[in-house]
């Protein structure tokens, strides 16, 4: 989708007002709209499933059965929602090709009309966005329940909340995407110009969600960077530079390691503390 969206916007005139778009582009634009919405729904669902599976791994450690059941229910809901909305999108019109052929100029100008039946596409897409945003909020909020009962210093709890709060930015972007979708279908005829913003919000939502889903992979990185030997070398090197280079310029500040000095974490176990791997 990251590759498809910029190409479609530039090549097929999604960066123009509707009255400036050549008529021959309308059907192909509709094909890409269906493809982009289907890919977004699938990718968004997979990202949420990835995050939920990570929570499930964490919840296997001494948490209440209620939390574990909540994980299972959310995974079923997200999986069912993803499949259902992709099918609804594909089957929006009968026949399926009517989704893009209904805007073909020859069919629009045909006095006999173009025989087809379609559901309310705007209601479907807006509902899709709202439900997806609500799911994003639930997925972002669940770690708060898990973190609150952990026995650790308050500063470390706030560090954890800061990490998981990144997920709330996905919720905000999802809300903006849902609102822009509502404007496209119910408040303006300039759909090509508005779709450009909607596609941008969709890409941001997916990218930030993917970052959140892949955050646990940073465990090895931080373990290497913030290992005790490496930190000792950094501090030692900084001390030598401060003692030997005081005459060459301003006094150098001691190198700070956020995970150690701000949050008071053990340098041997920084990411394990942040991600509950102790």
Partners of residue 117 on adjacent β-strands: 94
User: Do 48 and 87 fall into the same domain?
Assistant: yes
Contacts of 173 (CB under 8 A, 6+ apart): 201, 204, 205, 208
User: Do 156 and 39 fall into the same domain?
Assistant: yes
User: Do 132 and 41 fall into the same domain?
Assistant: yes
Q: Is 26 exposed, middle or buried (0-12, 13-18, 19+ CB in 10 A)?
A: buried
User: Do 261 and 187 fall into the same domain?
Assistant: no
User: Do 140 and 228 fall into the same domain?
Assistant: no
How many folded domains does the chain comprise? 2
Instruction: Among 213, 243, 258, identify where a domain stops.
Output: 213
Q: At what angle do helices 121-148 and 166-186 cross, to 10 degrees?
A: 170
User: Do 256 and 119 fall into the same domain?
Assistant: no
User: Do 103 and 17 fall into the same domain?
Assistant: yes
User: Do 87 and 134 fall into the same domain?
Assistant: yes
Instruction: Among 191, 213, 235, identify where a domain stops.
Output: 213
User: Do 227 and 203 fall into the same domain?
Assistant: no
Partners of residue 94 on adjacent β-strands: 117
Instruction: Among 195, 213, 231, identify where a domain stops.
Output: 213
User: Do 149 and 243 fall into the same domain?
Assistant: no
pTM of the model: 0.73
User: Do 178 and 239 fall into the same domain?
Assistant: no
Domain that holds residue 250: 222-274
User: Do 18 and 142 fall into the same domain?
Assistant: yes
Scanning the structure block, which residue is given the tokens 């509950």?
276
The pLDDT tens digits along the chain (278 residues) read 777 777 888 788 888 888 888 888 888 888 888 998 999 999 999 999 988 888 777 655 556 777 778 888 999 999 999 999 999 999 999 889 889 888 887 777 776 667 888 888 889 899 999 999 999 998 888 877 766 666 666 666 676 666 677 778 889 999 999 999 999 888 888 888 888 888 889 999 998 888 888 776 766 665 665 554 554 554 455 555 555 544 454 444 433 333 333 333 333 443 344 444 44
């Amino acid at each position: 989708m990251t590759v498809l969206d910029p190409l479609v916007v530039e090549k097929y005139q999604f960066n123009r007002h509707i009255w400036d778009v050549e008529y021959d582009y309308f059907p192909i634009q509709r094909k890409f709209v269906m493809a982009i919405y289907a890919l977004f729904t699938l990718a968004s669902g997979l990202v949420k499933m990835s995050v939920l599976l990570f929570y499930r791994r964490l919840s296997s450690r001494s948490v209440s059965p209620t939390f574990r059941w909540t994980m299972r229910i959310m995974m079923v809901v997200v999986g069912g929602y993803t499949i259902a909305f992709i099918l609804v999108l594909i089957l929006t019109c009968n026949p399926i090709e009517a989704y893009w052929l209904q805007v073909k100029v020859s069919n629009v100008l045909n006095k006999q009309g173009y025989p087809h039946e379609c559901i309310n596409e705007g209601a479907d897409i807006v509902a899709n966005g709202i439900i997806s945003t609500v799911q994003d909020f639930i997925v972002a909020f669940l770690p708060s329940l898990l973190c609150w009962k952990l026995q650790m210093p308050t500063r470390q709890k706030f560090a954890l909340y800061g990490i998981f709060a990144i997920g709330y930015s996905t919720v905000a972007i999802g809300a903006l995407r849902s609102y822009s979708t509502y404007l496209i279908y119910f408040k303006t005829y300039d759909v090509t110009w508005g779709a450009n913003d909607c596609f941008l919000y969709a890409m941001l939502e997916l990218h930030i969600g993917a970052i959140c889903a892949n955050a646990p992979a940073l465990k090895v990185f931080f373990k290497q960077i913030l290992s005790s030997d490496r930190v000792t070398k950094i501090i030692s090197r900084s001390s030598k530079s401060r003692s030997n280079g005081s005459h060459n310029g301003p006094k150098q500040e001691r190198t700070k390691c956020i995970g150690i000095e701000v949050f008071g974490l053990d340098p041997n176990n920084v990411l394990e503390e942040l991600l509950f791997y102790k």
